[in-house]
Homo-oligomer: A and B are copies of this chain.
Amino acid sequence: MLNVKTSSEVYEIIKEEFSGIDIGAEIVDIKECFGRILDTDICSNEDIPAFNRSTVDGYAVVSSNTFGASETSPALLKLSGSIKMGEKPKIPLNEGCTFYIPTGAQLPENADSVVMIEYTEDFKDGFIQIEKPSSPGNNVIYKADDVKKGETVFKTNHKLRTQDIGVLAALGHNPVRVKRKINVGILSTGNEIVEIEKMTLNAQIRDVNSYLIYSGLVDYGANPKIYGIVPDDFEIMKKAVSRMISENDVILISGGSSVGVKDETLKAIEAQENGKILVHGISVKPGKPTIIARAGNKPVIGLPGHPASCFFIFKTFVINILDNINGITNTFLTKKTVKASLILNIPSNHGREEYIPVKLKPENKEIKAEPVFSKSGLIRLLSASDGFIIIDKGCEGLPKGTEVIVYIF
């Protein structure tokens, strides 16, 4: 029998065994950085902005020259010229004078604020009428206001989003040191499994799992490799797993993990150098006969053969293992979730944490979640599901209308 562990026990084991495994780093061009994970803190090499900058189109002034100005009693300032974008002003601002300054341009020496063009009038007589008082710092970003030289902008292990790439560009930080993508080997086992291009003869089944996992790993940002299909044979499997261990950081084997006739996966993992089974059986539904093991410092996971079960275990425990290796602790933003309200009652489960696939339906401003029942078959189940909900093992079922968190596939 399986020595079944709860999901929280398993997450604890994963954290202890696999967090911080060093997979190394690489230096990549900023254009290739989207979705990559920083392997270093990013500090600014300079003050940003590097100069006092206007945030509006208007007139650079010495604030005290505008105090008391109004529409009826404007301040009159002599126009000393126009500041050009990207150029350092050649002469300083004198008392009683002003410069035209566009958004983003550098303030002249002595200027301490900018009056928006809307509050000025240019009668083309060499003087500008200022119709509103300005105070120091008005419409200006001072040098180093945004980031000071040496300041840390991102911490290591941060996953780079589009806006972060913009920040790296602003800092002139290119190329970037990121973690190497995790190499993941994928193997399918089972005498009934055939290549997807083959016609299924008699009772054969196509290898859905390899492609499901492959795509999920691409989505995650790992570097997957498919090793094909092996029969439920200890010697062949042992050899295949051994090769995968030598070529990858993480090894995923689907099928053949239920107790009974076919425990070759378990034996093939145990037979590896420094092979150690950490978990055999998790009290979740579906996905109970999952194996989590290590060979040296490499995670080796035995996933259920049924594609839906395999997918749930991939999306929960395998992703958690990858996050632990990558040092990602705050998955709040890397995981896509939505809140939705249940369209149907979900009956009580059986003392196991349960994963229920759901279809999401926007209705007015609400999102509704409809459970997809698996009797209808694999393809309908997968194509109809947008994500899944997790039902706690202690839960006695959820009534229609309950607000649930949906994990988007």
* Chain A interface (Cβ < 8 Å from any Cβ of B): 30-31, 33-35, 44, 46, 48-51, 53, 55, 57, 84-88, 102-106, 141, 145-147, 153-154, 161-172, 174, 190-193, 196-200, 202-212, 214-216, 218-219, 226, 258, 260-261, 305-307, 311, 332-333, 336-339, 360, 362, 375-380, 382-383, 385-386, 408-409
Contact = CB atoms under 8 A, between A and B. Distances in A.
Given A102-B261, A169-B207, A203-B51, A163 B196 contact: no
A167 B384 CA distance: 10
Given A339-B339, A379-B147, A386-B333, A212 B169 contact: yes
A377 B163 contact: no
This protein's copies in its complex: 2
A86 B338 contact: no
Contacts of A191: 84-86
Nearest to A361: B332
Nearest to A175: B197
A215 B165 contact: yes
A200 to B, nearest CB: 5
Contacts of A198: 172
Contact of A333 (B192, B360, B383): B360
B205 A163 contact: no
Contacts of A337: 338
A311 B385 CA distance: 32
Given A164-B382, A261-B102, A382-B164, A33 B203 contact: no
A205 B162 contact: no
Contact of A86 (B162, B204, B258, B408): B204
B383 A193 contact: no
Contact of A377 (B85, B145, B209, B362): B145
Given A48-B377, A106-B203, 9 more contacts: A46-B199, A145-B377, A147-B380, A162-B409, A163-B382, A166-B215, A167-B382, A171-B379, A339-B339
A50 B200 contact: yes
Contacts of A197: 172, 174
13 contacts: A31-B211, A31-B215, A51-B203, A57-B258, A85-B192, A88-B202, A104-B305, A106-B203, A162-B215, A164-B383, A174-B196, A332-B362, A333-B408
Contact of A211 (B88, B103, B165, B207): B165
A211 B174 CA distance: 11
Contacts of A386: 333
Given A333-B386, A338-B338, A202 B51 contact: yes
Contacts of A332: 360, 362
